[in-house]
Amino acid sequence: MDMRTVEKIEYGSASAVRVPPDEISDLGMPDRFIAFDTETTGLNLDKDCIVELGAVVFEHGVPTEAFQSYVNPDICISEEVSALNHITNEMLQAAPTEEIIYPELMRFLGDAGRGDIIICGHVAAFDLSFLCKTLDRLGIAANFRFVDTRQLATLIPELTHHSLAAVAEYYQVPHEHAHQAKEDALTSGRILCKMLERNRNI
């Protein structure tokens, strides 16, 4: 499944729906939205799990609150993935379990868990697919609406590369500590603000 094109995610009690690009320009600058990102043990929804959660609240284009936590998913992270995101099995063993951290995350997400405010991310369907599957397994209901900054980047003719790093460079958004969930969420949120400011007809 190509997460760049997924329009709707459904796992029992948890779902997420993409906001179509032609509706995004009508949003203007939202008073409030949340940028979200995860790090996982791999790319396979059937066997991999989230090991880090990051979320940043933006109000009137300014980041105001942040949430970050490692997650102990009770499975091991491979050396290859650990080398990419610098998360070790020792760090995960000391992290909160899923049963503890996901209710905390949902309290932080607040209205976003009911679809009342949007969530953004870079290839957001990837992160929200893992999130929705986990929430459903834990018996937590959620209904998200999301905007994908990668999808929006493909609509900008002069942008030939659409990775988070490439889009951040184009918009002159700082992108330090790649593959750390909170930092990548912050970067995606800042990119969305730049897109909404500069590209009203995106």
Residue 201: its pLDDT value, please?
Answer: 44
Residues with Cβ within 8 Å of residue 79, at least 6 apart in sequence: none
Q: Are 72 and 53 in contact, with CB atoms under 8 Å apart? A: no
Global pTM reads 0.93
How far is 120 from 123, CA to CA, in rounded Å? 9
From the list 198, 44, 27, the residue with the least C-alpha distance to 119 is: 27
Nearest to 187 by CA among 201, 171, 202: 171
Which string of DSSP letters, residue by residue, matches 26-80? GG-S-SEEEEEEEEES-S-TTT--EEEEEEEEEETTEEEEEEEEE-B-SSPPPHH
- Strand 14-18 relative to strand 8-11: parallel, antiparallel, unpaired? antiparallel
DSSP state string for 130-185: HHHHHHHHTT--EEEEEEEHHHHHTT-TT----SHHHHHHHTT----STT-HHHHH
Q: Look at residue 11 in the predicted model and tell me its pLDDT.
A: 96
pLDDT value, residue 94: 93
pLDDT in tens, the chain (202 residues): 677 778 899 999 999 999 987 777 665 667 899 999 999 999 999 999 999 999 999 999 999 999 999 999 999 999 999 998 899 999 999 999 999 999 999 999 999 999 999 999 999 999 999 999 999 999 999 999 999 999 999 988 988 899 999 999 999 998 877 779 999 999 999 999 998 887 654 4
What is each CA distance from 41 to 6, 14, 50, 54, 129, in whole angstroms? 21, 21, 6, 15, 14
**Alpha-carbon dihedral sign for residues 136, 141, 145, 147:** negative
CA distances from 32 to 61, 64, 100 (A): 8, 10, 26
In this prediction, residue 42 carries a pLDDT of 93
Enumerate domains of the chain plus CATH numbers: 8-198 (3.30.420.10)
Distance from chain centroid for Cα 10: 16
